[in-house]
Structure 1
Amino acid sequence: MIKPRQNPFSGTVTVFQEQRLPEPAALAGYSALIDAYGLAVPLPRTLCGIGTRHRVTERDGWRIMTPRHAPDATPAGHLTFALRYEGLDLAVLKRLFLTTGPEPIERIVRDQPTGTYARRLWFLYEWLIGKLLDLPDAEAGRYVPVLDPRLQWGIEGRTVRRQRVKNNLPGTPAFCPLVFRTPTLDEQAARNLAGQARDVAAAVPRDLLARTAAFLLLKDSKSSYAIEGERPPQDRIQRWGRAIGEAGRQALDRQELLRLQRIVIGDTRFVRLGFRDEGGFVGSHDRDSRLPLPEHLSARPEDLDSLIDGMIAFDTGPAQALDPVIAAAVLAFGFVYAHPFEDGNGRLHRYLIHHVLAERGFNPPGLVFPVSAAILDRIEDYRRTLETYSARLLPVIRWEPTERFNVHVLDDTGDFYRFFDATPHAEFLYDCVRRTVERDLPQEALFLRQYDAFRDRVQALVDMPDSTADLLFHFLDQNGGTLSKRARQKEFAALTDTEAAQVEDIFRQAVASAPFALF
């Protein structure tokens, strides 16, 4: 057991781990525990301190609370403060438990055998560490949830007799990222986007809906490659699009992930397929030395088995009881942070979004929301979302370069990929899904209605094949509703001046009802 340094929970600070506090304050909760025990963990997105003013302020990643919120200057006091005001940070708690050993938690429970926070800590120790404390089963105390549902998203869970708690954690000890309740997520969840999507689909004729679905599927596949900076041949785009269209039909397991990687890579001459057996990182290399310059460090290869098993167990278990978009964010971003493959991780990460939404029946049958297209349009927001955790993870991982200009992680870091705060990721994904439901789906259906109206009226005016009518529409669309001089002299030289003017008028009438510009 490692004890905290002498008098660790006292004194006012202005700097914590090279971060300036917005005002002088005493560390509280997780920040105090991290400081007292020297825990090398990714810092929580929001840290707490106790200031001198009698109002709570939040700024620069800090929540400065009032003197009346001050916890007892003991491990028990700061743990209670953390659970009450900061929610669960499983990575910090597990590293703390491994550092202190069981005695402090046993002492807390013996001092407060019916205390709600003591019993929650007791459960969390045994759940995270996998070992029983030297304590008899609880005999009194009302059942309380392990995760406070007012602070973080949980599931219904099940009762645990030993500590008289309800385990509502949305995961397993192998994989359990958490999402905080925020006004943004509460508002998004209340929108019933799945219901809106079904209403839009129900109002579209079946043949038109099928064409809409095909377009959106191809759009998503193209966008997913574009996010990676790739321009693959059309057959690879279509092949990956077909795989996306089947998302949710096949249960997620190791073989399914390997099958999908083979599809997404295509040409495997220079890529090693399968799960990594060496380190990995996202970033670049120094131009002179070729040494790695990581922006994100992937999970160690020796941790991948348990992480993949944890993700699969999450998908088949807790994800079924969690909000579908939040579950999709947790699984997909957890996968991309672990980066289990040498290549193809980004596209599989976005596939997992489709997998969860389709599996849960969130999107109408046969329709795929073009989430990748929404991400591509917001690529800088997407990168910033990824960095919300990568930037906090990188400083606490020790690594060394290998002879092959790769990275070798020196510490046990598996828990940092099992447990992270996925709140920004859930908010970002909900915004993308909302865009696809409220804009992309209805706009594409409307576009096809207008295109059909244009084609039918043009073919009634001039006899031409569908491919020629499609080219005519494309030229008009690209040139603001008029035929260019080049098009009049070449591809559509056969049109008379009167016919050309009528075609332009048909186009303008066809798109006049659109609430958005097609050109």
Structure 2
Amino acid sequence: MSYVGYEWIRQQLKLQVFPIRRPARVGPVSRLAIEDNALRVPAAVAPQGDSLLAHLLFAVKHEGINLQVLAQCLPKLAAHEMLVAVMAQPSGRYVRILGFLWEAFSQQLLAEELLVTGPTVAVFDPKRYICGPDQRCARWRVNFNGLGNTGYCVTVERTPEITELLAQNILEKANAFACGLSQQTLDRAMSWAYLHETQSSFAIEHEQPLQDKAQAFVQLLRQAHESRLLDESYLVALQNLCITNPLDKAVFYRHQQNWLQGPLRGAMGVTYVPPEPSEVRLLMVELLKLANHWHGKVEPLVAASVLSFAFVFIHPFMDGNGRLSRFLYHYMLAQSGQLRKGLLLPVSVAMKRNEDAYLQALQSFSIPMREHWQVGWLGDEDYTFDLLADQSLYRYWDATECVLFGLRMAQQALEQDLYEETRFLQAFDRVYRAIDLRFDVRGKDLSVLVISALQNQGKVSNNRRRQFQNTVQPQVFDAIEELIGGI
């Protein structure tokens, strides 16, 4: 069985791209079918011969849009061959899409004038992909509706789980949750959320912030709702607040190569290499242009997930990238206007609880990207880095796993963290008030006893009973347990 479409193109042109997720192969099937994570293709449907254009047309029609492959292979397609195809099918959907992308990636016009016809066609099928704002090209009668533009674009497949999570309207639920609480309870729940979001974001980086740094990060999170566009100076200021080592404070985007190091020594220990310093500003300009333009135009949780992961993959600073990427998640939600001002979903708390899944989402990009770097170890912290592929790999990538993870964490942050913490606070208030009305107990002692019982399945432990036996009446312990049991 032979490969066709994107996998055929990858092999024939020896393209340095990420593995094709579902490579297309000719097989004994009567119609196109996904089997064993591959696309099985009937011989009658497969492109014939070794025509690059034929395989491109097949791929775009049946496999979707793979911008990593298209960005590298379309400039290798002869202009004459592309033009002949357009003239032969001036209203053809897929030939127009390829012609539009050929000009974008070749950075030249195929012809001064084109006689294309037919209705405007979308590059990304909305039934298959999460799409972005329309960018119509009258010349080709094509609408580039991706999550980005031809200079930087990610793809997110509309999987069943992503569709289901988006249908849950998590932000609407969060707003409704907030509206259903008293202002006092909401304030206390948010105080908990901001503090634990800060602690968890630092803990993911295996750091314990000092009190002043933690307070600064809490204030940073609270400022996410303030209207301000993202740019380099703002990100530098944010980075300075995110880090604990004053020597790592940035003045601008990095001018050095950085990398992530695992437990192994030498080149084998290098787990990820972000783009070269010369590419950082170019990538960040494209990314921030999108982020500033997406408010109200891209589903906020999708935009937040894409920006958060894209930022950390570019790694524009020498330190603080992880914490800043998680702040940007909150920033996109807050700036969307769809989340009540002051409300925060503690996604870092959920991420810390799901660190293996977080790593897996990061590795959906970092592992295949690492394969395209040749790293040499010269001893100590001295390395050489050579990118064996095209820089465009950082510009066009599949963010499906990252968005899915971001959606899952938002759901958990609301339903497991905020809901549970609020129920805890409400239960505490109910028990505390009831005991305080019946017994004379010191306030701080009663708080400790109620909290510890709520955290101990409603029981006042023997240790607590002994600890407070000289200051708290024995019947208080039983009353606390009885009240919690009735909640």
Q: Quickly name the TM-score band, shorter chain normalised.
A: over 0.9
1:454–1:507 contact (8 Å) kept in structure 2: yes
1:280–1:342 contact (8 Å) kept in structure 2: yes
2:79–2:110 contact (8 Å) kept in structure 1: yes
For residues 132-177 of structure 1, what are the alpha-carbon distances to aligned partners after superposition, in whole Å with 9 as ceiling and x for unaligned? 2235133422211122222222234143211112222221233211
Q: Which residue of 2 aligns with 1:136?
A: 113
- 1:58 maps onto 2:70 in alignment: no
Q: Which residue of 2 aligns with 1:259?
A: 237
- 1:304 maps onto 2:251 in alignment: no
2:441–2:472 contact (8 Å) kept in structure 1: no
For residues 18-39 of structure 1, what are the alpha-carbon distances to aligned partners after superposition, in whole Å with 9 as ceiling and x for unaligned? xxxxxxx221111011111111
Q: 1:453 to 1:106 in 2, by over 3 A?
A: same
Q: 1:254 to 1:132 in 2, by over 3 A?
A: same
Aligned residue pairs total 484
1:47–1:62 contact (8 Å) kept in structure 2: yes
- 1:295 maps onto 2:271 in alignment: yes
CA RMSD, Structure 1 to Structure 2 (Å): 2.3
Q: 1:203 to 1:134 in 2, by over 3 A?
A: same
The one-letter code of the counterpart of 1:88 is: I
Q: Distance in 1 between matches of 2:372 and 2:171?
A: 40
Q: Distance in 1 between matches of 2:420 and 2:315?
A: 35
Q: Which residue of 1 aligns with 2:179?
A: 202
Q: Which residue of 1 aligns with 2:420?
A: 443
For residues 258-306 of structure 1, what are the alpha-carbon distances to aligned partners after superposition, in whole Å with 9 as ceiling and x for unaligned? 111111103223666642212222223754xx44622221111111011
Q: Which residue of 2 aligns with 1:505?
A: 482
Q: How far has the Cα of 1:398 moved from its partner?
A: 3.5
The one-letter code of the counterpart of 1:43 is: P
Q: 1:283 aligns with which of 248, 261, 273?
A: 261
- 1:352 maps onto 2:320 in alignment: no
For residues 469-519 of structure 1, what are the alpha-carbon distances to aligned partners after superposition, in whole Å with 9 as ceiling and x for unaligned? 32222332344433333333334521122233223323433xx3xxxxxxx
Q: 2:355 aligns with which of 379, 395, 405?
A: 379
Q: 1:127 to 1:450 in 2, by over 3 A?
A: same
Q: Distance in 1 between matches of 2:459 and 2:136?
A: 69
For residues 204-257 of structure 1, what are the alpha-carbon distances to aligned partners after superposition, in whole Å with 9 as ceiling and x for unaligned? 111111111111111211111111222222332232122122224232111121
Q: Which residue of 2 aligns with 1:151?
A: 128
- 1:325 maps onto 2:306 in alignment: no
Q: How far has the Cα of 1:131 moved from its partner?
A: 2.5
Q: Please give the secondary structure, in 1, of the residue aligned with 2:449.
A: helix
Q: Distance in 2 between matches of 1:484 and 1:360?
A: 47
Q: Which moved more, 1:254-263 or 1:315-324?
A: 315-324
Q: Distance in 1 between matches of 2:397 and 2:13?
A: 20
Q: 1:407 to 1:327 in 2, by over 3 A?
A: farther
For residues 366-417 of structure 1, what are the alpha-carbon distances to aligned partners after superposition, in whole Å with 9 as ceiling and x for unaligned? 1110111111111111111111222222222334446742442344643111
Point out where structure 1 has 5 or more consecutive residues left out of the alignment.
Answer: 1-24, 513-519
The one-letter code of the counterpart of 1:182 is: T
What percent identity do the matched residue pairs reach?
27
The one-letter code of the counterpart of 2:416 is: R
1:335–1:349 contact (8 Å) kept in structure 2: yes
2:17–2:389 contact (8 Å) kept in structure 1: no
Q: 1:397 to 1:461 in 2, by over 3 A?
A: same
1:285–1:291 contact (8 Å) kept in structure 2: no
Q: 1:408 to 1:319 in 2, by over 3 A?
A: farther
2:132–2:148 contact (8 Å) kept in structure 1: no
1:146–1:168 contact (8 Å) kept in structure 2: yes
Q: Distance in 2 between matches of 1:401 and 1:277?
A: 20
Q: 1:336 aligns with which of 287, 312, 337?
A: 312
Map 1:413-432 → 2, pairs under 5 A: 413-432=390-409
2:271–2:370 contact (8 Å) kept in structure 1: yes
Q: Distance in 1 between matches of 2:132 and 2:461?
A: 59
2:135–2:143 contact (8 Å) kept in structure 1: yes
Q: Distance in 2 between matches of 1:85 and 1:232?
A: 51
Q: Please give the secondary structure, in 2, of the residue aligned with 1:409.
A: strand
Q: 1:483 to 1:344 in 2, by over 3 A?
A: same
- 1:35 maps onto 2:35 in alignment: no
- 1:184 maps onto 2:161 in alignment: yes
1:298–1:339 contact (8 Å) kept in structure 2: yes
Q: How far has the Cα of 1:125 moved from its partner?
A: 1.9
With normalisation by structure 1, the TM-score equals: 0.87
Q: 1:265 to 1:110 in 2, by over 3 A?
A: same
With normalisation by structure 2, the TM-score equals: 0.92
Q: Distance in 2 between matches of 1:307 and 1:319?
A: 20
2:123–2:142 contact (8 Å) kept in structure 1: yes
Q: How far has the Cα of 1:56 moved from its partner?
A: 4.6
- 1:269 maps onto 2:247 in alignment: yes
Q: 1:196 to 1:431 in 2, by over 3 A?
A: same
1:400–1:408 contact (8 Å) kept in structure 2: yes
The one-letter code of the counterpart of 1:313 is: K
The one-letter code of the counterpart of 1:65 is: V
2:248–2:318 contact (8 Å) kept in structure 1: no
The one-letter code of the counterpart of 1:325 is: L
Q: Please give the secondary structure, in 1, of the residue aligned with 2:148.
A: coil
Q: Distance in 1 between matches of 2:334 and 2:393?
A: 28
For residues 160-204 of structure 1, what are the alpha-carbon distances to aligned partners after superposition, in whole Å with 9 as ceiling and x for unaligned? 211112222221233211111212222222222222222221111
Q: Distance in 1 between matches of 2:440 and 2:251?
A: 52
Q: 1:95 to 1:397 in 2, by over 3 A?
A: farther
Q: Which residue of 2 aligns with 1:315?
A: 291
Map 1:393-432 → 2, pairs under 5 A: 393-401=369-377, 404-411=381-388, 413-432=390-409
The one-letter code of the counterpart of 1:355 is: Y
Q: Distance in 1 between matches of 2:68 and 2:289?
A: 19
